[in-house]
């Protein structure tokens, strides 16, 4: 009995101490070994250096696997509340499963920032302070404007996954972007027989370019397709005339940007998602600081020849 009392007293003291002056921030995210999420985590941890200097802490809560994502993530949010979080950051991956848990955070008076998924709509609906993340549609717009401004005004979006909502948003955004700067754009949807086959995608790009010689800009929806498109353009004998921009990047794409066979890549900059979300909450909990800008976009970020070296340094440092 006495032991239990002491234990409770000690626990209360710890809780009191941690809630008094500093911010214990809980960040819900993906698996730490997921390549994208390890970058987001790095951003949160780097912001955590300041949090810790001011006496607080940053705790990363990620699921073991993605088999039951919505429910598992909702469970992690409730864990954060139970562990006495002063502030919570979380992605709204599966609104049906996760909204009630986020609601519990807000009801408990804990400041909340939604990041990575859900958009400003989710933040408004849940009463969160802000949304920090990228926007698929604007990613396409950025690519369209970049290629159009480079003088390549006739574009095509290679849609290797027709029907997927985020991919349609990329392509529609691309068409708007290239139209904004005075060009025009179309979508080339590929049949299911070419899914996951680099050769089929490369040959489709090449055939489309040969048949439509006026096209001089290609937008791809993922890093694998970017490599295929570069190959297809080379086989059509149009290297240099037709420029490629694609969503996401990897080592070989950065090398292609360096050598000039790819013009640019669009990045949602996950590092900023972790870094900014944690910084905003730390400033608010400690000193009542607010960021009046609603919907903080971390992407689209454009990587081209002028930023590729810094990006490569970021890859080595684990921030990109």
Partner 1 sequence: MMSTEAEDRRRVSGAFGRLARRPESGSFIGMIFVYVFFAILGGKVFLGAPGFSSWLNTAAEVGIIALPVGLLMIAGELDLSVGSVIPAASLTVAIISGHHDAPEIIGILAGLCVGLLVGFVNGYLVTRTTIPSIIISIGTMFGVMGMTLGFTVMIAGSTGVFIVPDPVTKALLGQFVGGMFQVTMFWWAAFIVVVYYLLHISHYGNWIYALGGDRESARNAGIPTRRLTIGLFMLSGFAAAFVGVGQVLTYQSAQVLTGQAFIFNSIMCVVIGGVLLTGGAGSVVGIVFGTLTFSIVNQGIFFSGLDPNIGSVIIGALLLIAVLTNDSFRQMAQSYAAKREP
Size of the site for partner 1 (CB under 8 A): 37
Q: Does 189 bind partner 1 (CB under 8 A)?
A: yes
Instruction: Give the binding range for partner 1 (CB under 8 A) out of 15-23, 96-104, 120-128, 198-206.
Output: 198-206
Q: Residue 57 or residue 197: which is nearer to partner 1 going by CB? A: 197
Closest separation in Å from C-beta 53 to partner 1: 30
Per CB under 8 A, contacts with partner 1 among 137-176 are: 162
Closer to partner 1 at the Cβ: 12 or 212?
212
- Residue 210 near partner 1 by CB under 8 A: yes
Ordered strands of the 57-61 beta sheet: 57-61, 24-28, 87-90, 112-115, 130-133, 296-297
CB of 71: closest distance to partner 1 in angstroms? 22
Shortest distance, CB of residue 209 to partner 1, whole angstroms? 9
Closer to partner 1 by CB, 142 or 233: give it.
Answer: 233
User: Is residue 231 near partner 1 by the rule CB under 8 A?
Assistant: yes
Shortest CB 231 distance to partner 1, Å: 6
Q: How many CB atoms lie within 10 A of CB 165?
A: 7
200 near partner 1, judged by CB under 8 A:
yes
Q: Which stretch binds partner 1 (CB under 8 A): 66-74, 93-101, 166-174, 245-253?
A: 245-253
Region from 16-24, 115-123, 139-147, 227-235 binding partner 1, contact rule CB under 8 A: 227-235
CB nearer to partner 1: give 53 or 192: 192
- Per rule CB under 8 A, is residue 312 in the interface with partner 1? no
Q: Which of 193, 214, 288, 292 binds partner 1 (CB under 8 A)?
A: 193
Tokens 């939604």, located at residue: 114
Contact between 251 and partner 1 per CB under 8 A = yes
Minimum distance from residue 207 beta carbon to partner 1 (Å): 4
184 binds partner 1 (CB under 8 A): no
Residue 244 interacting with partner 1 (CB under 8 A): no
Chain-centroid distance of CA 224 in Å reads: 18
Minimum distance from residue 319 beta carbon to partner 1 (Å): 15
Query: What single string gives the DSSP state of each residue in the chain?
Result: -HHHHHHHHHHHHHHHHHHHSS-EEEEE-S-TTSHHHHHHHHHHHHHHHHHHHTT-EEEEE--S-STTHHHHHHHHHHHHHHTT-SEEEE--S-HHHHHHHHHHHHHTT--EEEESSSHHHHHHHHT-SEEEE--HHHHHHHHHHHHHHTT--EEEEEESSTT-HHHHHHHHHHHHHHHHTT-EEEEEEPPGGGTT-HHHHHHHHHHHHHH-TT--EEEESSHHHHHHHHHHHHHTT-BTTBEEEEES--HHHHHHHHHTSS-EEEE--HHHHHHHHHHHHHHHHHH-------SEE---EEE-TTTHHHHHHHHHHT--
Regarding 197 and contact with partner 1 (CB under 8 A), the answer is: yes
Yes or no: say if 11 and 1 are a contact pair by the CB < 8 Å rule: no
Rule CB under 8 A: which residues touch partner 1? 33, 35, 38, 162, 188-200, 202-204, 206-208, 210-211, 223-224, 227-228, 231, 234-237, 250-252
């Amino acid at each position: 009995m006495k032991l239990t009392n002491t234990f409770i007293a000690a626990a209360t003291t710890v809780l009191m101490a941690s809630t008094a002056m500093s911010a214990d921030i809980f960040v819900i995210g993906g698996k730490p070994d997921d390549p994208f999420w390890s970058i987001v985590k790095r951003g949160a941890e780097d912001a955590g250096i300041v949090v810790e200097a001011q006496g607080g802490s940053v705790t990363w809560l990620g699921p073991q696997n993605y088999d039951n994502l919505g429910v598992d993530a909702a469970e992690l949010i409730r864990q954060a509340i139970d562990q006495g979080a002063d502030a919570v950051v979380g992605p709204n991956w599966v609104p049906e499963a996760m909204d009630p848990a986020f609601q519990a955070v807000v009801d408990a008076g804990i400041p909340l920032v939604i990041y990575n998924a859900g958009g400003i709509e989710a933040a408004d609906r849940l009463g969160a302070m802000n949304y920090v993340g990228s926007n698929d549609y604007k990613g396409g717009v950025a690519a369209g404007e970049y290629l159009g401004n480079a003088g390549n005004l006739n574009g095509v979006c290679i849609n290797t996954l027709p029907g997927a909502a985020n991919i349609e948003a990329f392509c529609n955004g691309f068409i708007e972007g290239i139209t904004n700067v005075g060009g025009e754009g179309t979508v080339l949807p590929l049949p299911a027989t070419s899914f996951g086959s680099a050769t089929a995608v490369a040959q489709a790009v090449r055939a489309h370019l040969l048949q439509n010689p006026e096209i001089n800009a290609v937008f791809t929806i993922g890093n694998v397709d970017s490599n295929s498109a570069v190959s297809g353009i080379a086989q059509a004998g149009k290297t240099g005339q037709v420029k490629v921009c694609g969503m996401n990047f990897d080592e070989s794409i950065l090398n292609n940007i360096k050598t000039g066979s790819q013009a640019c890549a669009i990045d949602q900059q996950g590092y900023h998602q972790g870094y900014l979300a944690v910084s905003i909450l730390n400033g608010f909990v400690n000193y009542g600081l607010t960021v009046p800008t609603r919907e903080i976009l971390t992407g689209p970020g454009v990587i081209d020849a002028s930023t590729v070296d810094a990006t490569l340094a970021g890859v080595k440092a684990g921030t990109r």
